[in-house]
Amino acid sequence: MLGLMQSQPLSISSLIEFAARHHGEGEIVSRRVEGDLHRYTYKDAAQRARQLAEALDALGVQPGERVASIAWNGYRHLEMYFGVSGSGRVLHTINPRMHPEQIAWVMSHAQDQVVCFDMTFLPIVKAIHGKCPSVRHWVALCDADKLPPDSGIPNLLSYEVLLAAQTGNYRWPEFDENTASSMCYTSGTTGNPKAALYSHRSTVLHAYAAALPDVMGISARDSILPVVPMFHVNAWGIPYSAALTGAKLVFPGPGMDGKSIYDLIELEQVSYAAGVPTIWQMLLGHMEPNGLRFSSLKRTVIGGSACPPAMITAFNDHYGVEVLHAWGMTEMSPLGTVCTLKSKHLAMSEEGKMKVRLKQGRAIFGIDMKIVNAEGKELPWDGKTYGDLLVKGPWVLREYFQGVGDTHAVMPLVNGWFPTGDVATIDADGYMQITDRSKDVIKSGGEWISSIDIENIAVAHPAIAMAACIGMAHPKWDERPIVAVVKKPGAEVSREDLLKFYEGKAAKWQIPDDVVFLDTMPMGATGKMQKSKLRELLKDYQLPDLR
Ligand code: AMP
């Protein structure tokens, strides 16, 4: 027997309409490429999203066709989130930090019909527009008077001119909630990037879950700064959850350096911010020497790569900001776990709480997870046994978009579970801790060494800004760890002192065999350390006892 409740499909357009109706005066503030601060409301955003949908009709873009963005976090990008997806087209958010050739490749793979871009990225568009035959319209996210007269890009349109030509009397279409809404290509550390294709259903369910108190805890009283880019897994779904709750949104635009982020937090009284550890490192690096404090920031979600304990301590103890360590991936929309404490943890010592906070956290409702061994046998939740982490749930990828020619890409699931490629432990309370990417695991004398543990100890040293631990081939031990580090500006530490710093913090056999000092760390397009590049850089390196 079926239930007798209404079966209204879940839709992205309903999020912005809800925000406009119930939080119409709610603010959206954006630092623009133009250099100024732009302010408007959810009511304005909804109206302009409808105008964009109408403009796409006028351009002849069909339902299901892809409309790409190459843009910073800002209000026009937000309008694309709702206008493109809400009208039944698919928003393809492109990471501008990819190599231009790779951008052209993903555009062709996705068969993008329209590309909207911030003027910052004009050089990229100039370099690739001749290599993207599927693209019918290039749209600059700017006013008509900012369009360059001699761009060489045929029929370059101004976004503002397009919107101004519409009536604004648009009605959102209704369609199946499983309709595709947006897509994001993974960073593609090996081979070509692969795309996760999200649906209205997966996006709205994820937005609900993300807003829950023990997840991101987003409310109408928050002023949220998503520093995580809107081109990286939909800025962790924050734009959708903000509309669902009516929270104020503050967008940093191109200003991602420590000073710009700090100034924006203070100016807009941001209560809540989200980003990868690299961003927070830059923020703390600006605040510490200048003796600055936060007047409004209460919580920050840190994820995308492991959050070092030193960062959690700095935020919690020094600045009074609660850190929510979160884990997820492009293929998971992205949220999988968030580390919020249970009531049983509250009575613990600070040291005990810290041990919990360092974990990537517990699964949020909607995500099922388990760890398995090489034979696929499920492993115990004892907080010690490592295994491959598998997940499933309504916002976890089933298959990649058009992964033809690569069987893994077409159907990645293992008996219905998605293999994350992460290696983790899960404790009896359900707290998961990532120890490595499966390809980064270091095996020494038959025992595993967690590269994350080794990196965390290095960055706890006052002179170290960044650390990456990799395994080097060794004839006796199979592999031995070394740690590559970047020092903080003006700080000094010797190889011997850093190795000494490990004593008592890691087992003797886990202490790296060597330290390599780097001027800069190789970073990937999503702000994570790129160990593949580091290995390439150190291909002629010899371990001390093999020299
Ligand atoms: P991406 O799809 O680019 O977001 O990358 C997802 C991968 O980033 C995961 O599979 C993890 O390896 C890594 N990752 C994300 N969040 C964390 C975290 N909190 N700690 C450690 N690794 C993380």
Q: What is the pLDDT of residue 160?
A: 97
**Share of residues in the chain with pLDDT > 90 (%):** 80
- Residue having the nearest C-alpha atom to atom 9 of ligand 1: 329
- Residue having the nearest C-alpha atom to atom 23 of ligand 1: 305
Mean pLDDT of 510-514: 94
Distance 412 CA to ligand 1 centre (A): 18
Distance 317 CA to ligand 1 centre (A): 25
**Share of residues in the chain with pLDDT > 70 (%):** 97
HEC secondary structure over 126-143: HHHHHHCCCCCEEEECCC
Q: What is the pLDDT of residue 275?
A: 94
CA dihedral 426, 432, 437, 440 (to 10 degrees): -60
Distance 330 CA to ligand 1 centre (A): 9
Mean pLDDT of 357-375: 96
Is 468:453 a contact under the CB 8 Å cutoff?
A: no
45-54 pLDDT tens trace: 999 999 999 9
Average pLDDT of the chain to the nearest whole number: 93
Opening angle at CA 112, ends 108 and 114, nearest 5: 140
Measured from the Cα of 331, ligand 1's closest atom is: 2
Mean pLDDT of 134-161: 93
Q: CA–CA separation, 51 vs 257, rounded Å?
A: 33
Distance 52 CA to ligand 1 centre (A): 33
Mutational pocket test of ligand 1: of 422, 529, 530, the residue with most ligand atoms within 8 Å of the beta carbon: 422
Q: Model confidence at 188, in pLDDT bands (50, 70, 90)?
A: low
Q: What is the pLDDT of residue 191?
A: 64
- Residue having the nearest C-alpha atom to atom 8 of ligand 1: 304
Q: What is the pLDDT of residue 278?
A: 86
Measured from the Cα of 330, ligand 1's closest atom is: 2
Residue written as tokens 């568009």? 125
Q: What is the pLDDT of residue 454?
A: 92
Q: What is the pLDDT of residue 151?
A: 87
Q: Model confidence at 19, in pLDDT bands (50, 70, 90)?
A: very high
Q: CA–CA separation, 406 vs 410, rounded Å?
A: 6
* Closest of 401, 418, 49 to residue 199, by C-alpha: 401
Q: What is the pLDDT of residue 441?
A: 81
Task: Using DSSP, state whether 105 is helix, strand or coil.
Answer: helix
Measured from the Cα of 420, ligand 1's closest atom is: 10
Domains detected in the chain: 443-537 (3.30.300.30)
Mutational pocket test of ligand 1: of 194, 232, 329, the residue with most ligand atoms within 8 Å of the beta carbon: 329
Q: Model confidence at 189, in pLDDT bands (50, 70, 90)?
A: low
Task: Using DSSP, state whether 471 is helix, strand or coil.
Answer: strand
Active site residues: 186, 331, 443, 448
68-94 pLDDT tens trace: 999 999 999 999 999 999 999 999 999
Q: Long-range contacts of range 308-311, CB-CB < 8 Å, 24 or more positions apart?
A: 308/277, 308/455, 308/456, 308/459, 308/460, 309/354, 309/358, 309/456, 309/460, 310/456, 310/459, 310/460, 311/277, 311/280, 311/281, 311/284, 311/459
Burial letters 346-384, b for 16+ CB under 10 A, else e = eeeeeeebebbbbbbbbbbebbebbbbeeeeeebebeee
Mutational pocket test of ligand 1: of 338, 357, 434, the residue with most ligand atoms within 8 Å of the beta carbon: 434
- Residue having the nearest C-alpha atom to atom 15 of ligand 1: 304
Q: What is the pLDDT of residue 238?
A: 98
Q: What is the pLDDT of residue 439?
A: 78
* Closest of 436, 472, 477 to residue 455, by C-alpha: 436
479-496 pLDDT tens trace: 899 999 999 989 999 999
Distance 421 CA to ligand 1 centre (A): 10
150-159 pLDDT tens trace: 889 988 999 9
Reported in sequence order, the residue ranges of 374-446 that DSSP labels E, i.e. its strands, are 387-392, 418-426, 431-437, 442-444
Q: What is the pLDDT of residue 409?
A: 54
The pairing of beta strand 322-328 with beta strand 335-339: antiparallel
Token reading at 349: 């010592």
Of 31-45, 383-397, 437-451, give the lowest mean pLDDT range. Answer: 437-451
381-391 pLDDT tens trace: 999 999 999 99
What is the pTM assigned to this prediction? 0.90
338-356 pLDDT tens trace: 999 999 999 999 999 999 9
Distance 394 CA to ligand 1 centre (A): 19
Mean pLDDT of 257-278: 96
Q: Model confidence at 407, in pLDDT bands (50, 70, 90)?
A: very low
Q: Is the pLDDT of residue 408 over 60?
A: no
- Residue having the nearest C-alpha atom to atom 6 of ligand 1: 329
Q: Is the pLDDT of residue 406 over 90?
A: no
Q: Is the pLDDT of residue 190 over 60?
A: no
Q: CA–CA separation, 375 vs 327, rounded Å?
A: 25
* Closest of 4, 13, 65, 16 to residue 44, by C-alpha: 16
Q: Is the link from the previous residue into 334 a cis peptide, with omega within 30 of 0?
A: yes
Q: CA–CA separation, 263 vs 376, rounded Å?
A: 50
Mean pLDDT of 176-191: 84
Q: What is the pLDDT of residue 99?
A: 85
The strand order across the sheet containing 90-93 reads 157-158, 137-140, 112-117, 66-70, 90-93, 180-185, 195-199
Pocket of ligand 1 (CB under 6 A): 186-187, 233, 303-306, 325-327, 329-330, 334, 360, 420-422, 434, 437, 526
The one-letter code for the residue type at 106 is: V
Q: What is the pLDDT of residue 444?
A: 85
Q: Which residue has the higher pLDDT, 437 or 521?
A: 521
How many residues in the chain? 547
